[in-house]
Each structure stands twice: as C-alpha cells, then as structure tokens.
Copies of this chain bind each other. A is one copy, B any other.
Amino acid sequence: MKYLGGVSSTSSLSEARDLSRQLLRVAERARTDFAGLAAESGLTPVQARAVLWLEQPSTMSGLAEHLACDASNITGLADRLTDAGLVERVTGADRRVKFLQLTGRGTLLRTGLASRVARGSTVTAKLNPTERRQLATLLDKLLA
C-alpha cells in the first residue's frame, strides 16, 4: 500500500489532461461517424450540417452564423446544394435577403439523414439507459 491517497491527489493534473484527450478523441470519432453518415447521402459534412439546419428555411447569413463561418462561404455552399437539387433560394420581402429552403428531394434526404444521425451510430449503442442519462447530464454542463 503506497499512499493511495497521495496518488489520487497528484494525478489530478494528468487526469485533466487525459480527459481533454479523451474528449478530443470522442469528438474526432463523432466527426468521422458524422462524415460517414453524410457521405451515405452524398454530402460533405458541412453540406450535411446545412441540410439538417434547414428544417426551417433560413437566411444565408443565418446559416453562416449556425455554421460559424464567414458569410461568403454560404454562396458557394448554397450553389452546390442547389446544383444537387436539394435547396432553392427564395427572395424575401426585403429583396436583399435570400432564404434557403429545402426542395422536396432535400426534405426527403434530410429526413433520412436526421434519422440515421439520431440512431447515433457509435454512441447510443454502447451505453445503457442509466449511462446515457448520466452522459446527457454531463454534456449539458459542458455546453452550459
């Protein structure tokens, strides 16, 4: 027995480091899984995020904010989604703003994608209900 209490106390720093790494690994895993799901729909991850976000029509700047990127990105992104027949630009009352709106195909694709994301690939499978609740609570605190 070698000072177990001491060990647990001095290891708090490395525990913190490990936790960060773990979280980054999980994030990387989530990213990869998501990219895979997106690819099944023929989308890049960013395109998939855009489509998921467009449950309700959104202005281009609104989408830019959601994606946390420069507004000038959205032009090209919207172009590509439009070319793919998934969204269309709809001019609003203020003729400066353009709403992006899913087409019929876009809506179908979004539904399928959303349900596959909900199924959660890796995640939900590996935890039992109690653990899932615990995780939800902890993630909530992280996002607070």
* Number of copies of this chain that the complex holds: 2
Size of interface on A: residues with Cβ below 8 Å to B: 46
Evaluate contact between A15 and B126: CB separation under 8 angstroms.
no
Which residues on B sit within 8 Å (CB–CB) of A119?
16, 20
Among A12, A27, A29, A132, find the residue whose CB has the most chain B CB atoms closer than 10 A: A27
Q: Which of B16, B68, B126 contacts A118 (CB 8 A)?
A: B16
Determine the residue in chain B with the shortest Cβ distance to A22. Answer: B139
18 A-B interface contacts by CB (under 8 A): A16-B119, A16-B120, A16-B132, A17-B117, A19-B120, A20-B119, A20-B120, A20-B123, A22-B136, A23-B26, A23-B120, A23-B139, A27-B30, A27-B31, A27-B34, A29-B143, A122-B142, A134-B138
